[in-house]
Amino acid sequence: MTEVELVGQFGDDAVAVPAPPVVELRNLWRVFPSEPPVAALRNIDLAVRAGDYLAVVGASGSGKSTLLNILGLLDRQTDGAYLLDGLDTSSLSDSERATERSRRLGFVFQSFHLLSHRSVEENVMLAELYRGEPRSGRLERAVDALTTVGLRHRIGFLPTRLSGGERQRVAIARALVGRPSLLLCDEPTGNLDSSNTASVLELFGDLHDQGLTIVIITHDSNVAGRAGRKVQMTDGELREVG
């Protein structure tokens, strides 16, 4: 997914310049207007480059989920800048943010968020619904994504007939089918047993090896330990820890 911009293309001395970070947060604040106001994020600076595997750890209420919501364009910062693939998101309208979500982001939630009355492949295809792409090939892409997560044999099944680990894999396939720039995971193993947790983490490792940029929110040190990079959230402040 790494993009390289070429400058000085004439002659032999063209120089490769790295593309901007996938995620760049500058002095970012998120203050909830309660009485008294609550600063969930305080002056956050963060850059996530293509291919990074970043774990955000912290106690409950430290601001992890708020950070993920802003990274996922589901919430707006109160102050500061958020650049996604170099695009300043603060100027985007609500509808444009929805578009960017469908094109650039993939989500994996703790509670899977699968539609119980739709088949496995229909759940995966749901991710392409709002992208405006042609309908043709949609099923093939869903099957490819399910193959990637090792669930090709579950095509036609309803989610209710799958184990927790399989459901989370379906959710991951749904996140992957749009080929996102960034995969955002919110406590993806929170509802899984240790066996399924290991299996899902192994999958994330494989995806990272293939170049996918991953940001994972967790309070599980085991999960965070698999990430190549770790940041700690404490009372809305972010600190690089490894």
Partner 1 sequence: MAIRRHSRFKLRDLFDECLAGLFARPARTLLTALGTVLGIASLVATLGISRTAGNQIVDRFNELSATQVTVRARSNGSSGGTNRTGAALPWKVEDRLDRLNGVVASGAIADVPNAGGIRTVPVDDPSAPRERVLPVFAASPGLLDAVRGGISSGRWFDSGHVAREDHVVVLGSDAAAQLGIDRLRNLPSVFIGDVQFTVIGIIDAAPRDPGLLAGIIMTSSVASSRFGVSRPERVVIETDLGAASLIATQAATALNPNAPESLSVAAPADPARAREGVANDVNQLFLLLGLVSLVVGAIGIANVTLVTVMERTGEIGLRRALGASRVHIAVQFLAESMAMGVIGGIVGASVGILVVVAVAASRQWTPVLDVWLPLAAPFVGAAVGLIAGLYPSLRAARLEPVEALRTGT
Closest separation between CB of residue 115 and partner 1, Å?
Answer: 6
Shortest separation between residue 240's beta carbon and partner 1, angstroms: 26
The residue (of 122 and 237) whose beta carbon lies closer to partner 1 is: 122
Q: Which is nearer to partner 1, 165 or 226 (CB)?
A: 165
50: left (phi over 0), alpha (psi -120 to 50) or beta: beta
Burial bucket for residue 236 (CB in 10 Å: 0-12, 13-18, 19+) = buried
- List CB contacts of 67: < 8 A, sequence separation 6 or more: 41, 44, 56, 217, 233, 238
* Between 219 and 229, CB nearer to partner 1: 219
3-state secondary structure of 108: strand
Question: Nearer to partner 1 by C-beta: 69 or 181?
Answer: 69
Tell the smallest beta-carbon distance from residue 207 to partner 1 (Å): 19
Residue with smaller CB distance to partner 1, 165 or 180:
180
Contact yes or no for 24/82 (Cβ under 8 A): yes
**Rounded to the nearest whole angstrom, what is the least distance from the CB of residue 58 to partner 1 in the complex?**
18
- Give Cα 113 distance to the centre of its chain: 15
**Site residues (vs partner 1, CB under 8 A):** 69, 72, 74-75, 86-88, 91-92, 94-96, 98-99, 101-103, 107, 109-111, 113, 115, 117-118, 122, 126-127, 129-132, 135, 174
On the CB side of 161, CA atoms within 13 Å amount to: 11
Q: How far apart are CA 115 and CA 126, in angstroms?
A: 10
